[in-house]
Amino acid sequence: MSDRSLPAHFARSVPPGDTHERDVCGTCGFVHYVNPKVVTGSIVRRDGLILLCRRAIEPRRGFWTLPAGFMELGETVEAAAKREAREEANAEIVIDRLLAVYTIPRLAQVQVMYLAHLAAAHVSAGPESLEVKFVGWNEIPWPDLAFPSVRWALEQYRSVEGRGEFAPFSNPPGEFGDAKPMT
């Protein structure tokens, strides 16, 4: 995956001691690494209900998701999940535990999902959401979920709901975000 905005003196090659082709500066040998992005979010619970956000931005504008988004430099994964809940649902949350870590090679993403609960009762749509609401299991708009990983997180949460101890989940068997696992 090359960054086309690099100067012309960068060329694709395998740097010494590496195993992957990278963009390498022909002048100084600098290696421009392109690595996956980290997405973090949470299943926020209140009184047995789950917080959903209807997306106001692309991709998948108008579809439902969990409060989640890209990590920023200088943040911890947990702080990013809290920030995303504030940005999308004006929600102050407390992280309870790790639910899952998903790999989406097709999108060059690693997604870290937590279980959380509200620290304050108020929620409302933030600038990235058209609306937010708490729903019960039978009210989840399954056909209108924005991403496969939202479904994975909800289904995996349901399988351990009420249990205090469980191992964090990963991609469901055979699910790699429409790509084969990298070997």
Average pLDDT along the chain, 183 residues, taken 10 residues at a time: 70 90 91 92 97 97 98 97 98 98 94 97 96 98 97 97 94 73 38
pLDDT of 178 reads 55
Looking from the CA of 174 toward its CB, the CA atoms found within 13 Å total: 0
All structural domains of the chain: 1-34 (2.20.70), 37-160 (3.90.79.10)
Which 3 state secondary structure label does DSSP give 87? helix
Q: Are 90 and 119 in contact (CB under 8 A)?
A: no
pLDDT of 35 reads 87
pLDDT of 122 reads 92
* DSSP for residue 144: G
pLDDT of 176 reads 77
Q: Position of tokens 């060329």?
A: 11
pLDDT of 34 reads 85
pLDDT of 4 reads 58
